[in-house]
A = this chain, B = another copy of it.
Amino acid sequence: MAKNFTTREENYSQWYNDLVIKADLAENSAVRGCMVIKPYGYAIWEKMQQALDAMFKETGHVNAYFPIFIPKSFFSKEASHVEGFAKECAVVTHYRLKNDPNGQGVVVDPEAKLEEELIVRPTSETIIWDTYRNWIQSYRDLPILVNQWANVVRWEMRTRLFLRTAEFLWQEGHTAHATSDEALSEARQMLDVYATFAEKWMAVPVLKGVKSPNERFAGAVETFCIEALMQDGKALQAGTSHFLGQNFAKAFDVKFLSRENQLDYVWATSWGVSTRLMGALIMSHSDDHGLVLPPKLAPIQVAIVPIYKKIEQLAPISEKVDSLINALKAKGISVKYDTRDSYTPGWKFNEYEFKGVPVRVAIGPRDLENGTAEVARRDLLTKEIVPLEQLEEHIINLLEQIQTNLFERAKEYRELNTKTADTWEDFIVRLDEGGFVKAHWDGTPETEQKIKELTKATIRLIPLEPEQEEGKCILTGNPSPHRVVFARAY
Residues of A within 8 A of B (CB): 27, 29-31, 34-39, 42-43, 45-46, 62-76, 82, 86-98, 105-106, 108, 117-120, 127, 130-131, 134, 140, 146, 150-151, 153, 155, 167, 169, 342
Contact = CB atoms under 8 A, between A and B. Distances in A.
Contacts of A134: 27
A150 B151 CA distance: 9
Residue of A75, A91, A169 with most partner-chain B CB within 10 A: A91
B95 A92 contact: no
Contacts of A88: 95-96
8 closest Cβ pairs, A-B complex? A76-B105, A34-B67, A39-B62, A37-B65, A91-B94, A95-B155, A93-B93, A90-B92
B97 A140 contact: no
Contact of A108 (B106, B117, B130): B117
B29 A66 contact: yes
Contacts of A131: 27, 29-30, 36
A48 to B, nearest CB: 13
B91 A62 contact: no
B96 A155 contact: yes
13 contacts: A30-B131, A31-B69, A34-B67, A35-B67, A38-B64, A39-B62, A39-B63, A39-B146, A82-B106, A90-B92, A90-B95, A92-B120, A93-B93
Nearest to A24: B135
A46 B63 contact: yes
A169 B63 CA distance: 14
Contact of A65 (B36, B75, B95, B119): B36
A428 to B, nearest CB: 36
Contacts of A36: 64-67, 131
A88 B82 CA distance: 30
A98 B87 contact: yes
A74 B93 CA distance: 19
Nearest to A65: B37
Contacts of A38: 64
B63 A42 contact: yes
Contact of A96 (B70, B87, B106): B87
Contacts of A106: 72, 75-76, 82, 86
Contacts of A27: 131, 134
B97 A86 contact: yes
Contacts of A46: 63
A97 B68 contact: no
Contact of A67 (B98, B119, B167): B167
A34 B68 contact: yes
A62 B299 CA distance: 11
Nearest to A146: B39
Given A42-B65, A127-B30, A146-B39, A94 B95 contact: no
A60 to B, nearest CB: 12
A118 B32 CA distance: 10
